[in-house]
Amino acid sequence: MPFATLGLADDLVRAVAAQGYATPTPIQAQAIPVILAGRDLLAAAQTGTGKTAAFTLPLLQRLDIRREGRLLPPGRPRALVVTPTRELAAQIADSVRVYGRHLTPRIALLVGGVSMKPQFDALRRGVDVLVATPGRLLDHISQKTVNLSSVEILVLDEADRMLDLGFLPAIRRLLALLPKRRQTLLFSATFAEPIRQLSGDFMNDPAVIDVAPRNAPADRVDQQVHPVDQDRKAALLSHLLNAGERDATLVFTRTKHGADRLSRQLERDGIRTAALHGNKSQAARTRALDDFKQGRIQVLVATDIAARGLDIVQLPRVVNYELPHVPEDYVHRIGRTGRAGCTGLAVSLVSEDEASRLHTIQRLLGRTLPSSVVEGFAPSTARRSSTAPASAVPGARRHHPQRAGASSGERSASSSSRRPAGSGGAAGDSAQRRNYHQTRRVTTAGGRS
């Protein structure tokens, strides 16, 4: 189904075509007609599903900037997009620019960590679409440089993450400043209870679209667990990164400090690396992301928050250097690979003290992940007992020496990349795998439930 059949105006269809996108993704096919019809929308869709275009395109059409003209005074946006991270905000603003190239909306980007001055200037010039992170937006409101009383369309993007980051009070303050009569679009990776509650409080009979089943990892991701001692993780990671293909790899650590330390260690091992986390300046973050996208560095070491919403398509490999505390974050993390028709590899380095975390993740996924010891990196528990290899980790088995020419990581990477798109993985886990282009459901929520 081409974009034109969704009811989008020619100017927008042309802008999409210029990006090389021929077919809408499932979230786009479902959300665009609903938004064009003026309805509120509650959508479960993760980054990577094409959700940004799913709201940006119809939002631009509804603003109908050409016909409506530019009558509003400075600092009064007609559309407001609120999102948790600076990177995500910048990417959304870029998308508005790209898709709005024939409509030329005035865009302002209000994020923290950078000077207010250029933001004041942008607001003074007048703004149609305002993209902001909650804290900086509230700063502007308190300085009276932004006035939300003319907002016609509100988008809350990555709403679940905003709640995780403690932005709920900020969001409620913002909502109180918006006109009651408006269109509200809420995007979230999951429909956890707090999201349902929030949407019930301020949305009006929203259509509900779910293209991101809560516990289903992205399609075509090979998942591997390597049991290893905590103090051997860095060496194992260097070994995996140095062996086989030098695939671009996103590595997750739990802490900013851990990200810096690991990044320095990998550099010492000759692997070009940058760390991405909240303590880095905006310029450093932009540079790291750019270097990674351009292939100037092989590895990006990131915390969950920093990695959230990064617009990196076709990432071949994700490594969980440490398992996340929140099991759902595992699904978010590995969702960074195996996207849009490509295969991906998600490797978790799991130490004995993380066994219970792995267990929780496996319970969430509804299956045991394949686990194998990498030659030369057997955890000490396994070395102590020759009869019980890697007993700390459920399902672990040892690599047979004859097959250890490459680590299991590399072997999986090559086998997965040979697999035809959509063919699924090991027998028995096909039920967990969902195809990117498979459509789920559109339903209508029964009022303010």
- For ligand AMP, the binding residues (CB under 6 A) are 21, 23-25, 28, 47-53, 311, 313, 340
CB-nearer residue toward ligand AMP: 47 or 381: 47
For 150-245, where are the alpha helices, taking DSSP H only? 159-164, 168-177, 193-202, 233-242
Give the distance between the most distant pair of CA atoms in the chain.
Answer: 77
Minimal CA–CA distance to 54: which of 31, 26, 79, 85? Answer: 31
CB-nearer residue toward ligand AMP: 52 or 407: 52
CA distance between the termini of the chain: 33
In angstroms, what is the minimal distance from the CB of 21 to ligand AMP? 4
For 126-215, where are the alpha helices, taking DSSP H only? 134-142, 159-164, 168-177, 193-202
User: The tokens of 244 are what?
Assistant: 């086989």
In angstroms, what is the minimal distance from the CB of 424 to ligand AMP? 21
| Closest residue to ligand AMP using C-beta atoms | 52
In angstroms, what is the minimal distance from the CB of 51 to ligand AMP? 4
Spatial contact of 358 and 348, defined as CB atoms under 8 Å apart: yes
CB-nearer residue toward ligand AMP: 47 or 145: 47
CB-nearer residue toward ligand AMP: 45 or 393: 45
CA distance 332 to 312: 14
CB-nearer residue toward ligand AMP: 256 or 336: 336
In angstroms, what is the minimal distance from the CB of 15 to ligand AMP? 12
In angstroms, what is the minimal distance from the CB of 178 to ligand AMP? 24
In angstroms, what is the minimal distance from the CB of 34 to ligand AMP? 17
Which helix (H) or strand (E) is 63 found in, with range?
helix 51-63
CB-nearer residue toward ligand AMP: 43 or 259: 43
Spatial contact of 140 and 119, defined as CB atoms under 8 Å apart: yes
| C-alpha R_g of the chain | 23
CB-nearer residue toward ligand AMP: 21 or 216: 21
CB-nearer residue toward ligand AMP: 133 or 381: 133
CA distance 257 to 263: 10
CA distance 369 to 55: 35
Beta strand ranges found along 95-181 (DSSP E): 107-110, 129-132, 153-156
In angstroms, what is the minimal distance from the CB of 427 to ligand AMP? 30
35: which residues sit within 8 A by CB, 6+ positions away?
41, 54, 55, 58, 59, 62, 183, 185
In angstroms, what is the minimal distance from the CB of 153 to ligand AMP? 17
